[in-house]
Structure 1
């Protein structure tokens, strides 16, 4: 992804063209994403009703696997809660599975306290951690309503923070209010990553000592690839990762620094956000923040499942 310092002369650059070299396999993977016969696995049916614990109070009728499955289907097929209940009932009848389906209100209530397992535990992560954030609309007028009636949007947003590796897998996901800065969300993202990594990468919004300390505390040997501001100066120590980037940029320029540092991999997180919004939309279904956090985590988990089916391999032509 070209750095923004060349914005005023980017029109002179010829737009690159790419060709997908594994189109048959990727075409089959795209079809597989819509195959609904994969949803009820034998392991999920076996854990459908949790065993009685003997504790006081009414026992739980449905396990967390059931609620997670319902939310998974809701996100993938863009359903409301009532339609999710109806879809699961019809799916159980089609598969001839003797299981009961939770009603829509139970799915909504249980989503608040649903335990979220670490996304990286189900993956074979790479060596990179690439982070960025984007906005998801909660409610507000769309662009057509604004243009037609000449009214302000009055939108409410949530901020989605993602951590991606070089295999396009989502390693961590965090949803916050817009007031939370990118640097503030970094420790929470790193806490979700259970595997070691070699390089941490982000855009200029993550330039600062708090991010570097959070990364090096989590992984002391990791490289931190964050572009410093154009007016940045070297520290008194002169040996930090930021000092090295400033010196390299001063000697060879930002474009050369991007190539030798591997900063171009940062476009992967931009691609992941584009895929997230195209598949699940840029508007959240839930209204409460606790439910929205679960919704974002379910979407990230579903995105990893779709990625595991196959991704395009593109080469520049």
Structure 2
């Protein structure tokens, strides 16, 4: 009971009360935070399960693409592994796909060998604007607002295309392939 003895005479700093002065802008910002567009190609869906290995030992149930998709969604929204698992499960359920989602223990084991494209921005909340996550057969990409459509329809200004990108990852051999 060291702090109870002098509690009546101890100086307390009152917590500042936060007051919202512009409610429409505040509510629009809150709604804008949760905007997500997930683009999944049929080739990526066919590669969701891991291929069979001929070597000894256990077989992977999920492909690297499935693990990477789950971990990236967790990184984009600053979620822990269990929450990222739940997010992907609910998204796949909303889309109407009956795919198995990697559980948090599998994600933890496989995340040890996975290299995040941008280690400095792990667990960072995305910038303002909607987020576009593109999952195709060549890899996984995260785009800012309207950036995927600009790149798909060949935007005239290449500087504007990469201006609001969180990060862009694609295997080196597949960088020359067009985005579907």
TM-score range for the pair, normalised by the shorter chain length: 0.3 to 0.5
Higher helix share: 1
Which protein is bigger by CA-based radius of gyration?
1
